[in-house]
Amino acid sequence: MLQKILYNFDIALEAIQRNKLRAFLTSLGIIFGVSSVIAMLAIGTGAQQEVLQQMELLGTNNVIVQPVIEQVEGNLNDQSDQGNQNKYSPGLTLKDLESIKELVPEVEKVSPEIMYETSFIRNARMRSGKLVGVNGDYFDITNFNIVEGSNFSNIQLDNADPVAVIGYDVKTRFFGGESPIGKQIKVGHLWLTVIGVIEKKEVSSENIENLGIRNFNLDIYAPATTVLLRFKNRAILTGQDLQGSGGSSVVFMGGAMITTSGGSSSSSTSDPNYHQLDKLIVKVTDTRFSGAIADVLSRMLKRRHNDVVDFEIIVPEQLLQQEQRTKRIFNIVLSSIASISLIVGGIGIMNIMLASVVERYREIGVRMAVGAQKKDIELQFLTEALTISITGGFIGIILGMGFSYTIEATADIATVVTPMSIFISFGVALVIGVIFGYYPAKRAAQHDPVHALRHE
């Protein structure tokens, strides 16, 4: 059987060499079809990996609670809405975090996030950056690995020690060529001792823009208690906040209105952001519970904030799943359109093979006259169709990979060529060669050898 296949393959190659241009034009449909399918699948895989990277950055099992700073307008003397004016909300605080840990089921870990824009100074070098107040669970929730040093200990968190875990780029810019562990860096007005370094996180500019995230590599992380005690706690009213004019002044604290008097300077209002925390990140045990827990958190925080909805709850996993579904549908449509080229290529193979059968009537008659059976004739023309299809498939794979890399380089779109996409494209080309080559081969085998020998 193998000898018969090899013999028919030699005949197919001889026929293709006699009509090289026609065979090349016939295979163009397969070539461009395969290359288009590979390029589209590469774009789809790249988009899927991009979504997975976004999910990794935001956390697949996370629910995010963010404060909302309400902008209220109206006359302070207007008593028509006195009930709403007197409503007090403490804002988003560490007490909310403790309540979530104690009361909400299926919550694995919770971390605060308190963020301040400040400056970093060491060895006559300075740059602006973000100080982020967190707890020990933060790095696990956000999938940050500490590659040097250690995480915050419970004692450091409870005592509000001046310690820090720094981003990878902070290490390279301020501690080049030396280990930062145990050394100090000035953050704002306070010197912090470095106890850990997180691994470098690859964050694209597109993710920063689309997801509203920052470049984590340039951040310095300190215990939330340290940030609240040693830097600033927006939930505490300070003497500076109470400075006002000689007459009475109005200061808002935690949603409550406080009237003060005294002072000779012009009145100044406190920071409108009365929330102690900038974010609460809640890690649930399973993504199945994300929606339900978000609803529970909403009702619980509304009750704790005296029916003042000064927060919003975001479920990143649901948003990214919708984005992934949209991209998947888009890529299916593109791949389907590209597959039409393969079908057109298959039709081209059928047309050329039918014309080849007509041209080679006499050859068919001679082979049948010397003992070739119908299945031998079928195998001859089917092998020729498959040879054209497989050759076009190989060329299409090379072109498809080239198209993918060109798209990534010129259009700034992530593309990933996988072995599975190559296998699928080549398999489709093979199937097309069999399907569209079978009918001409069968038709060639049905000829009467006597009439075929008489054909001129």
pLDDT of amino acid 73: 47
- pLDDT class for 318, splitting at 50, 70, 90? low
Q: DSSP code of 128? A: E
Residue 127 and residue 220: Cα distance in Å, rounded? 12
The model's pTM is: 0.57
Q: Other C-beta atoms within 10 Å of 15: how many?
A: 20
Which of these ranges, 46-60, 211-225, 377-391, has the smallest mean pLDDT?
Answer: 46-60
CA angle 170, 233, 258 (to 5 degrees): 150
- High-pLDDT (> 90) share of the chain, %: 21
Tokens standing for residue 422? 């190559």
SS3 state of residue 446:
coil
- High-pLDDT (> 70) share of the chain, %: 75
Mean local confidence (pLDDT), 59-67: 80
Q: Other C-beta atoms within 10 Å of 76: how many?
A: 9
Distances in Å between the alpha carbon of 209 and those of 144, 163, 168, 205? Answer: 20, 30, 21, 6
Who has greater pLDDT, 393 or 250?
393
With 70 as the cut, is the pLDDT of residue 45 above it? Answer: yes
- pLDDT class for 421, splitting at 50, 70, 90? confident
pLDDT of amino acid 207: 52
Which of these ranges, 151-160, 284-293, 297-306, has the smallest mean pLDDT?
Answer: 284-293
- Residues pairing with 193 in the sheet: 163, 184
Mean local confidence (pLDDT), 356-363: 72
Residue 246 and residue 282: Cα distance in Å, rounded? 46
- pLDDT class for 198, splitting at 50, 70, 90? very high
Evaluate whether 241 touches 260 at the Cβ level (below 8 Å). no
pLDDT of amino acid 86: 57
Q: Other C-beta atoms within 10 Å of 404: how many?
A: 24
Mean local confidence (pLDDT), 214-220: 84
**Closest by Cα among 311, 373, 410, 396 to 97:** 311
Q: DSSP code of 104? A: S
pLDDT of amino acid 74: 46
Mean local confidence (pLDDT), 377-392: 81
- Beta-strand ranges (E) seen in 299-451 are 311-314
- pLDDT class for 20, splitting at 50, 70, 90? confident
SS3 state of residue 145:
coil
Which of these ranges, 37-51, 98-112, 148-162, 192-206, has the smallest mean pLDDT?
Answer: 37-51
Mean local confidence (pLDDT), 351-370: 74
Tokens standing for residue 8? 């028919």
With 50 as the cut, is the pLDDT of residue 335 above it? Answer: yes
With 90 as the cut, is the pLDDT of residue 186 above it? Answer: yes
Q: DSSP code of 246? A: S
Q: pLDDT digits over 236-276, tens only? A: 765 555 454 444 444 444 444 444 444 433 334 455 778 88
Q: pLDDT digits over 148-170, tens only? A: 999 999 999 999 999 999 999 99
Burial of 249 (C-beta count, 10 Å sphere; 0-12/13-18/19+): buried
pLDDT of amino acid 257: 41
